[in-house]
Amino acid sequence: MRTVVIGGGIVGLSSAYALAQRGVDVVVCEKGSIGSGSTERAAGGIRAQFSTPTNVDLSVASMAVWNTFEERFGTDIDYRKTGYLFLARAPETASALEQAVEMQNERGVPSEILDPEVAREHCPGIDPEKFVAATYSPTDGFADPHLALQAYARAAADAGVDVRTKTPVTDVLRDGDGSGSRGEGRVTGVETPDGRLEADYVVNAAGPWARRVAELAEVSLPIAPKRRQMVVVDPEEPVPETDPLTIDLETGTYFRPERDGEALVGGHLTDSDPDRDPDGYDRGIEFDWAADVLETASEWATYFGPESRIKRGWAGLYAVTPDDNAILEETVPGLVTAAGFSGHGFQHAPATGRIVAELIVDGEASLVDIEALSSDRFETGVERVEQNVV
């Protein structure tokens, strides 16, 4: 059996590695270099505090890998489990957090509801008077996406995966019209500038380019690029390395500790555009955005006063769906979609790779029930919106 994986980010390489472990002949086609899409520009968050059961289950299954990553892959990915701290200003937001924590606890996640004053024990720099409730889980944290990606790339190569960089897919081939190219039947391979690659399955793990890849197979998927920015800040008051990744849900601003008192700061201040060119977006930061996000953070966290200094920053792309949940399925015969993670792709990559392998080798997913991630939810109206945070 041969599979072509489109996309050399962490979801694509995790899928390729899991397939190779199951004995599948795998070729990865990456239009640029490994990780040049979203992975290398990710914040690296790993959490189980989600509001939908499927995402919690994906997190729990992925954390089983992240927790033993160095033992499995021989690479220290600087995984720091200092927790995630969610902060709510409005009673309705607090109520939603309470419901989410109850569901998370049922799935074995040790999250808890906290009074804002108690939340300060985890993050001394927050202003408790701004909030009515908080949630915290000590098993959440963050890791280095670059180190994790390189580990998956090495493991995939060692397992026999043929990783081809600078190899864009120019067409997805389908049977059914008698010509061996575009048709309405099963996907049979891809075209690249170097020629045709026949395959039993094709995996669309192209992140912000996933909608374009789907269109090559004459499939419509509601996945849009969303530009996200973040900055590394030398704050007025050093951020302790023991602080959790802390999020003000109402404003969407967040920060997490870096090394030597610095902080990574970001926020939900850039909209998505289905027509955005994922090849031509600005990878730098906008000064007005940086000033705005730091000013907002300073209103609820004492670390970020007027003497805070931006050291560097960058922008990347999320691949978002209308409900901020992934599409993970066999979309048409022979075409498996693993995209649209809406910022959750890095942390869910270990479980996603195994599920892709299950879909292809076993014909169904068993690690996690992924029925809620089928693309037909957008036609039936049963989608359930996930809180889109790092």
Strand 195-198 and strand 187-192: the pairing is antiparallel
Is 255's pLDDT higher than 60? yes
Q: Are 136 and 231 contained in the same domain?
A: yes
The pLDDT tens digits for 202-212 are: 999 999 999 99
When pLDDT is cut at 50, 70 and 90, the band that residue 42 belongs to is: confident
Say if CB 156 and CB 17 are below 8 A apart: yes
Query: What pLDDT, on a 0 to 100 scale, did the predictor assign at position 150?
Result: 96
- Residue 76 within a domain: no
Query: What pLDDT, on a 0 to 100 scale, did the predictor assign at position 389?
Result: 67
Other beta carbons within 10 Å of 209 = 24
Q: Which of 305, 320, 335 is where one domain is finished?
A: 320
| Domains identified in the chain, total number | 2
Closest CA to 329 of 231, 203, 242: 203
Say if CB 344 and CB 46 are below 8 A apart: no
Say if CB 138 and CB 42 are below 8 A apart: no
Q: Which of 268, 287, 320 is where one domain is finished?
A: 320
Q: Are 34 and 180 contained in the same domain?
A: yes
- Residue 75 within a domain: no
The pLDDT tens digits for 347-362 are: 999 999 999 999 999 9
Mean of per-residue pLDDT scores for the chain: 93
Read off the CATH number of the domain in which 43 is found: 3.50.50.60
Structure tokens at 86: 């969610």
Q: Which of 71-80, 172-181, 259-268, 311-320 shows the highest mean pLDDT?
A: 71-80
Read off the CATH number of the domain in which 119 is found: 3.30.9.10
Strand 254-257 and strand 245-248: the pairing is antiparallel
Q: What range does the domain containing 21 cover?
A: 2-54+145-221+323-380
**At 297, phi and psi to the nearest 5?**
-60, -35
Dihedral of CA 159/161/165/169: which sign?
A: negative
Q: Which of 320, 339, 355 is where one domain is finished?
A: 320
- Residue 390 within a domain: no
Query: What pLDDT, on a 0 to 100 scale, did the predictor assign at position 390?
Result: 65
When pLDDT is cut at 50, 70 and 90, the band that residue 382 belongs to is: low
- Residue 87 within a domain: yes
Q: Are 258 and 300 contained in the same domain?
A: yes
Q: Are 345 and 306 contained in the same domain?
A: no
- Residue 365 within a domain: yes
CA 373, CA 358: separation in Å to the nearest integer?
15
The pLDDT tens digits for 166-197 are: 999 999 999 974 444 445 799 999 999 999 99
